[in-house]
Amino acid sequence: EVQLVESGGGLVQPGGSLRLSCAASGFTFSSYGMNWVRQVSGKGLEWVSGVRISDGRTFYADSVKGRFTISRDNSKNALYLQMDSLRADDTAVYYCARGGVGATWGDYWGRGTLVTVSS
């Protein structure tokens, strides 16, 4: 059974940093592109970042470019999102989703982890 479990969310002050993790199981992690998608409470879905499997290239939404860094460790079946210079408008539930940017849809999603940026 495919499972994606996010962790690392919490309360952080504006300007601070946080590192999210996504633990993957039930499939060959190294064979799939992966993404982070966020959702502000009561609002829609916003794609944040993705890593392409074919060449390992990373992609970012303009809203987080230069502040967030996506990475993966295939030996640990894990996806990460390093979030720096956090702002109040980064407050959201962050989902990990399997799928290839520019290639495939999000066929499996985790349950999300809440990030709150507030003083």
Partner 1 sequence: DIVMTQSPDSLAVSLGERATINCQSSRSVLHSPNNKNYLAWYQQKPGQPPKVLVYWASTRESGVPDRFSGSGSGTDFTLTISSLQAEDVAVYYCQQYYNLWSFGQGTKVEIK
- The contact set with partner 1 (CB under 8 A) reads 35, 37, 44-47, 50, 59, 62, 95, 99-107, 109-112
Q: Which is nearer to partner 1, 15 or 67 (CB)?
A: 67
**Sign, CA torsion 86/92/93/94:** negative
H or E, element range at 83: strand 78-83
CA distance 110 to 119: 28
Q: Which is nearer to partner 1, 9 or 100 (CB)?
A: 100
The length of the chain in residues reads 119
Shortest distance, CB of residue 68 to partner 1, whole angstroms? 14
CA distance 56 to 86: 25
Shortest distance, CB of residue 114 to partner 1, whole angstroms? 12
Q: Which is nearer to partner 1, 23 or 101 (CB)?
A: 101
